[in-house]
Structure 1
């Protein structure tokens, strides 16, 4: 296919998205996906609208950050960008580059918006951004970093226990000593010995990095470990952490992104509590001190430390109404009998909001330590926000996905004293200790033949010592407010909603698509009969999986965000307890299916689904230290239980869409950590359980690597790093692999080859043939499409187009090409997108029709009479609770069918209706 054809196609898409913006004729994208050539003649974009992702403007937001893509050659790297509101007025903002095109022009920019009220929408335009009236300012000394915005001052020490030493509001120090806490015990429970030994740990800061200094947003990265030196942990340092603190102008809060790595012994180290805690100065009378805890929905539980309502003697309507509202009560407004009897009213110092399951929370309180807890109330699900303070000020603390990540808790202690304490428990100490031991019994599979037998029965690849949680991580998002007074119930409820569902400004699908990012996809288009059938089915599939999260309670600290792999229709359950059929762990690119669905639709619920998965699969399913560092774990009963450790799971392709949409620094760290993950092939022989062969023997510094599941995963990290930094080292490493694959005799049909870790080149003649259906289903299709639009490498282009044309080719064509018809060409409908790619780039209508015939094939997946399948209601005694079941769906098939449908419609959608009619899909 000619470069002129592709440019014209993208030009029309771009013009539709940008409206009045004019691009150079025949050069809308400033690039040709067919040749990789860059003309650099694109004209600047005039404006990029942003809208609230939930479609409703929030009454208030505490600052937000988003990414914006730009067509190649349209925006210079140093171009200043600003935001304007829907009324045309400038909005206080801060911008910085996220990624660059190969010609040096800006590819992605990030924009931080100051917290405010009443912002209904915004646009990104050229120009110097507005500085907020109360800009964020950062000053540093070797021992202390100070962040100021308006009348609020935060002090962050560079060492010690505290992550935030103090926060002062209008000259009053309200918060002190915000730090991390952990509790552990040496046994999971009392079953073994009848007693357990517990230890306590607090944060020990070893490094603080100032990443941004304002004026709208300041960012600090705090790193360290949890230390037992001060808390009875025997001087031990463990559970390394990184915590980012985000300070936005126009807000009274700090956003906290908390990440830790489990580096303990799963058989000895059982976490009993993991949290963030801070002390709160309390100077008001105890009847003017208040507690707020989020309830169900918009509900709020609010009480005073010393309540004035419900007494035998009335305190007076004015005093009672003021206390209920959280306002200061004057002593003179309290009825004389109650004034005289204040000392007899109990002071309640401790409060607890505990969510031990996703379906239930409890509220309780007590006067002080050493006395009984009194049950107050209970409910199903709460957003997880607490407040303690009074008329002189207070602190609110909560965290996202509170009930979804249960067991969790918000605790308040000593509210009746001069220094209260508020703690957000990411793992509640009220729950049983965290147990990350392997689930399998010892001695089940002691030999390699037994491991293979077990794999053939349960589909989980077990190997002793490889089913370890040592090295996995978890990231949580918290918000902490320093407030001048007690918030009303309405204000507090709004804060809780912002914790649970942070408001986000986002770019539209049309605008993202017009920028030419993320390869082959298009926005939702149901304008023809066949397109409507496919679009309806895509909607059905994503809706079904989001519903399954709730139907089967796919929640929990270590699992929220993942989905299950395969269904068991006999039990009306997903196979949660059957080996490799349980947690999916990104198998066959589930993450990509969700993210491309979001790109096409802009649906907020799909974004949140994908966000939870990105947090899960990038943290829990991947090792961040130890011998498996940089690799992830194949699907299993526990996120870490399968012994197959592979880069196809840690794949940066699954994180980068979220990163560029949000500019999330933690995900940026995770991808950067993968830049040298190919060296982990020295520690993990992925093919170690296959029969030994002479071809597998390699010299020092050389390992065996597959083209798709391994190298295809490595290149996603290298591409992202090249885009982010412009460092051509990573581009050259990609090119080394592309050139050497293209130079092999059998090219992509060799499937794998010896790989030189130093250079990134594949070695040998590659004169053998080995096809694996897995080589093309872990992101390499998407990455190759992007790479070939950025890098003009003819050898690789030829090799990739050959593989795309012939993978699904009739046997006689494959026989002519290879001299044989090898086995292994499974997932024919999924690989139809390879055929479509070749058809598009070679302008071959016959090949396009073949691609659709493969897609509408008869492998028993969606296209085999399944486009109209719907759920069946299962209720009564057959199942735990009523549910809607579609036992024809599996996650592998759903993800790959969805990706194929999306890419095929983008590449060869003009022949869809004709092909669908021939296949009988459209009558």
Structure 2
């Protein structure tokens, strides 16, 4: 038996100690104890990533980690400015250490970044917030922020009304859906369209203040003239004390038939009451670079008869004009002959073009009013006595998007925020080919061999994929000045983000503690830092140059590059969209943690939104599994936990306390049960003895891509809730995995999905697969080793880290035989580095750097980006011919972790 494994007797003994100690292991205890020994009430420094120039007080929510044992779960906190002034703050726990102390806390405040450049948080009773109240009845919930009053209905199709100072500024808030039954109709054919309205089936008040109120609405879209209900939705509405804004998180999950349910438009609509004269009704759209389109419903400028500067200046500024009796007679008596334009539309059909159109009313021609490139997604309709500003975040990035204003010349204007623009072609989610005769596993394996696409009939369905969008409403007391509107647009598109400093996050060893802040003083380290920055900057540019935008695409990057065509392989099977392959998400998040770069945060945020929603099935037979990389995000037949893994979402959840991502994390808790029906290795030889369990609750589970995802979900749920059942399942799985004949090198075993226990394998051949540890397993194991005092698990994991890249002779000496030819050795250098750090082994540390610089399966040199222009390419772009997102993500994670774990051993270069 390999010496790193416990004896069978030792395993039995430790299994009986189910309630074993959960103290930190010695390698981490001193490190965290040092942080715990800091002054009991030492303030935590906070910094703004965005928002310093907006000048707008905005509701902000963020997360803060704490050392083990420092704070009780319900401790109060105080937030202070640089000048020591206390700011109202609402706090609640996000996660707990095994001893019940606070691990992560969440906080909410209303802040103006421009006036609060330095903030700090510490334990202690803070100032009481005022101005937000919640009242609930049998039919509705009412929220009063101190500036606006909002009523949310518990049932029906009208969910929102907003008033300010007794004046209704938005009524009859509804979800709208337009569909059509075909997109391929012949010229003589017909297309049948249908209208649906969101119908509420449930309302939950998730938070009640004193700073922040959160209300969750759920339901489906019901046919306006019929009985069908489909396309389930989840809305979360956020209200902050003293704020005139309402933030809406809008999630839809596709549950239709992609061959006939073509979405023509989906969005949020409300009515804006108007009573001012037509010339005092104003329409605004934000364009690009703070540009404003500003008009009145009935314009008074440019007329043959000039009303004078007092009137025209007031109208242009959105202010009240004098009474029409004071207008020049030639203007006053002919006002009715000046056209009133009651309908306006801004449509963004692509990432690089928008158009503003207007018309007097339905049945008459549209006029093109303005054009531009990238609209900010914000509009306004109202008068000098009040109105509604409304918008969609990531407007042009998530095209096609549209903002409509209708009937502004009547007493009831309608505004619609279209997340999918009805003026654009319908949403087509059908698979992109007919299968090409791949009706057997043998043919499908041949197809995989040529295009890297894992195809299987019926698996490339969009059923169950979701999309979350963010919208904002502002109930304003008057038509905003251009500068005010620009500030609102900035808040909409780049909401202020408050975060702990990288140094503080590092001191708390968050997310495994296997990263460090940059140390440019050492030339060899500086060279790696420089290359890390170049890779991120390259991908940031590629997103824009290659237009990786769109409703279903924004947030993802491409997988592989085609140097011959100078394009990413957008149309080749499994080489197109990346779908988190080899931990792209984690590379971005660890890079953000260590640098604190705002642009890295935004890219990682967009990727978390996308990969957690679009790349995962949230209902149907494949839920809650994710889909492997493909031309279509949901197109690949490999439905796997490695894509839906909670390991990719933990960062954003704990840094921002985002409730929707919290839902996605919880969705993964029972995911192991899906392995009973859908096996990642189902296309392996049918006589594989590991293929199925012998009991109804046992499923074949790999110790890498499968268990790593399961452990991430169970760990997250345990620390969020303290659930003893989940804790026990996690510990059972760790203990029984470690007891396998070769620990992690056993490769897989039968997992009882109800108890979390692995059956002891009878397979005595050591096994390693190059994908096992490149989907978050090293990062989750680092957290588990630091969290749980389980020596046998630590030994098993360290053995895997040490031996994967070891020589064949060393593998044979430790395991009985070598592991054969393995791939991705450069990415696995971080495992060697982890073993070196844990064992304080200088030779291993040197080996880790040798592997990082010279091992296969990654980059041993780095080509610079080169510029391509026409006529060689369609548009001017950069390329790195040998780039691969797999390689960049793994090189980035290896670089970050080797620097942190064995940085002192880096060779001079």
Shorter-chain TM band:
over 0.9
Alignment of 1:274 with 2:271, yes or no, is: no
Alignment correspondent of 1:254: 246
Alignment correspondent of 1:102: 98
Alignment correspondent of 1:727: 723
Alignment correspondent of 2:800: 803
Alignment correspondent of 1:657: 651
Offset at residue 697 of structure 1 (A): 3.7
From 819, 822, 837, the equivalent of 2:819 is: 822
Alignment correspondent of 1:850: 847
- Rounded to whole Å, the distance in 2 between the matches of 1:741 and 1:174 is 60
Alignment correspondent of 2:421: 428
CA gap 1:443/1:46 in 2 versus in 1, 3 angstroms: same
Offset at residue 567 of structure 1 (A): 0.4
From 840, 849, 861, the equivalent of 2:858 is: 861
Alignment of 1:742 with 2:738, yes or no, is: yes
CA gap 1:460/1:121 in 2 versus in 1, 3 angstroms: same
- Rounded to whole Å, the distance in 1 between the matches of 2:183 and 2:242 is 46
- Rounded to whole Å, the distance in 1 between the matches of 2:679 and 2:399 is 36
Contact 1:115/1:250, CA 8 A, preserved across alignment: no
Alignment correspondent of 1:90: 86
Alignment of 1:583 with 2:577, yes or no, is: yes
* Range that drifts further, 708-717 or 58-67: 58-67
Deviations 1:46-90 (A, max 9, x none): 111212103835311321111111122222222210211122111
Alignment of 1:386 with 2:379, yes or no, is: yes
- Rounded to whole Å, the distance in 2 between the matches of 1:36 and 1:47 is 22
- Rounded to whole Å, the distance in 2 between the matches of 1:791 and 1:285 is 69
Alignment of 1:552 with 2:578, yes or no, is: no
Alignment correspondent of 1:897: 891
Offset at residue 824 of structure 1 (A): 5.0
Offset at residue 856 of structure 1 (A): 1.1
- Rounded to whole Å, the distance in 2 between the matches of 1:470 and 1:33 is 48
Alignment correspondent of 1:872: 866
From 679, 683, 690, the equivalent of 1:685 is: 679
Offset at residue 742 of structure 1 (A): 0.8
- Rounded to whole Å, the distance in 2 between the matches of 1:45 and 1:586 is 40
* Range that drifts further, 696-705 or 263-272: 696-705
Aligned residue pairs: how many?
879
- Rounded to whole Å, the distance in 1 between the matches of 2:861 and 2:350 is 40
CA gap 1:31/1:42 in 2 versus in 1, 3 angstroms: farther
Alignment correspondent of 2:181: 186
Offset at residue 746 of structure 1 (A): 1.2
Alignment of 1:126 with 2:123, yes or no, is: yes
- Residues 708-727 of structure 1 correspond to what in structure 2 (within 5 A)? 708-727=704-723
Alignment correspondent of 2:700: 704
Contact 1:114/1:248, CA 8 A, preserved across alignment: yes
Offset at residue 405 of structure 1 (A): 0.4
Offset at residue 193 of structure 1 (A): 6.2
Contact 1:319/1:333, CA 8 A, preserved across alignment: no
Alignment correspondent of 2:157: 161
Alignment of 1:533 with 2:531, yes or no, is: no
CA gap 1:55/1:265 in 2 versus in 1, 3 angstroms: closer
Alignment of 1:884 with 2:878, yes or no, is: yes
Alignment of 1:572 with 2:572, yes or no, is: no
From 365, 374, 385, the equivalent of 1:372 is: 365
* Range that drifts further, 272-281 or 61-70: 61-70
Offset at residue 696 of structure 1 (A): 2.4
Question: Which structure carries more relative contact order (alpha carbon 8 Å, separation 6+)?
Answer: 2
Alignment correspondent of 2:465: 472
From 273, 276, 290, the equivalent of 2:282 is: 290
CA gap 1:695/1:92 in 2 versus in 1, 3 angstroms: closer
Alignment correspondent of 2:14: none
RMSD of aligned residue pairs (Cα, Å):
1.6
Contact 2:824/2:857, CA 8 A, preserved across alignment: no
Contact 1:82/1:95, CA 8 A, preserved across alignment: no
Alignment correspondent of 2:772: 775
- Rounded to whole Å, the distance in 1 between the matches of 2:864 and 2:382 is 52
From 54, 58, 73, the equivalent of 2:54 is: 58
Contact 1:30/1:42, CA 8 A, preserved across alignment: no
Offset at residue 463 of structure 1 (A): 0.5
Deviations 1:129-164 (A, max 9, x none): 32334x211010111101012242111110000221
CA gap 1:103/1:41 in 2 versus in 1, 3 angstroms: farther
- Rounded to whole Å, the distance in 2 between the matches of 1:158 and 1:380 is 40
Alignment correspondent of 1:595: 589
Contact 1:147/1:153, CA 8 A, preserved across alignment: yes
- Residues 347-358 of structure 1 correspond to what in structure 2 (within 5 A)? 347-358=340-351
Offset at residue 364 of structure 1 (A): 0.4
Query: What is the DSSP-based 3-state SS (H/G/I as helix, E as strand, rest coil) of the residue aligned with 2:125?
Result: coil
- Residues 16-95 of structure 1 correspond to what in structure 2 (within 5 A)? 31-32=24-25, 34=27, 43-54=39-50, 56-95=52-91
CA gap 1:508/1:42 in 2 versus in 1, 3 angstroms: closer
- Rounded to whole Å, the distance in 1 between the matches of 2:853 and 2:87 is 50
Query: What is the DSSP-based 3-state SS (H/G/I as helix, E as strand, rest coil) of the residue aligned with 1:856?
Result: helix
Offset at residue 333 of structure 1 (A): 4.4
Alignment correspondent of 1:12: none
- Rounded to whole Å, the distance in 1 between the matches of 2:629 and 2:26 is 35
Contact 1:94/1:129, CA 8 A, preserved across alignment: no
* Range that drifts further, 108-117 or 409-418: 108-117
From 320, 323, 348, the equivalent of 1:328 is: 320
CA gap 1:633/1:193 in 2 versus in 1, 3 angstroms: farther
Question: Structure 1 unaligned runs (5+)?
Answer: 1-28
Offset at residue 718 of structure 1 (A): 1.1
Alignment of 1:672 with 2:666, yes or no, is: yes
Contact 1:62/1:250, CA 8 A, preserved across alignment: no
Contact 2:699/2:752, CA 8 A, preserved across alignment: yes
Query: What is the DSSP-based 3-state SS (H/G/I as helix, E as strand, rest coil) of the residue aligned with 2:871?
Result: helix
Query: What is the DSSP-based 3-state SS (H/G/I as helix, E as strand, rest coil) of the residue aligned with 2:249?
Result: strand
Alignment correspondent of 2:497: 504
Query: What is the DSSP-based 3-state SS (H/G/I as helix, E as strand, rest coil) of the residue aligned with 1:809?
Result: coil
Query: What is the DSSP-based 3-state SS (H/G/I as helix, E as strand, rest coil) of the residue aligned with 2:607?
Result: helix
Contact 1:115/1:249, CA 8 A, preserved across alignment: no
Alignment correspondent of 1:3: none
Offset at residue 474 of structure 1 (A): 0.2
Query: What is the DSSP-based 3-state SS (H/G/I as helix, E as strand, rest coil) of the residue aligned with 1:467?
Result: coil
Alignment correspondent of 1:220: 215
Alignment of 1:631 with 2:628, yes or no, is: no
- Rounded to whole Å, the distance in 2 between the matches of 1:43 and 1:881 is 57
Alignment of 1:794 with 2:791, yes or no, is: yes
Question: Structure 2 unaligned runs (5+)?
Answer: 1-21
Query: What is the DSSP-based 3-state SS (H/G/I as helix, E as strand, rest coil) of the residue aligned with 2:107?
Result: strand
- Rounded to whole Å, the distance in 2 between the matches of 1:518 and 1:566 is 28
Alignment correspondent of 1:907: 901
- Rounded to whole Å, the distance in 1 between the matches of 2:180 and 2:26 is 57
Deviations 1:859-905 (A, max 9, x none): 2632x232xx3111111211011112111210000000100111111
- Rounded to whole Å, the distance in 1 between the matches of 2:717 and 2:220 is 28
Structure 1 segments, 4+ long, off by >4 Å, are 29-33, 35-43
Contact 1:589/1:778, CA 8 A, preserved across alignment: yes
Alignment of 1:514 with 2:507, yes or no, is: yes
Alignment correspondent of 1:111: 107
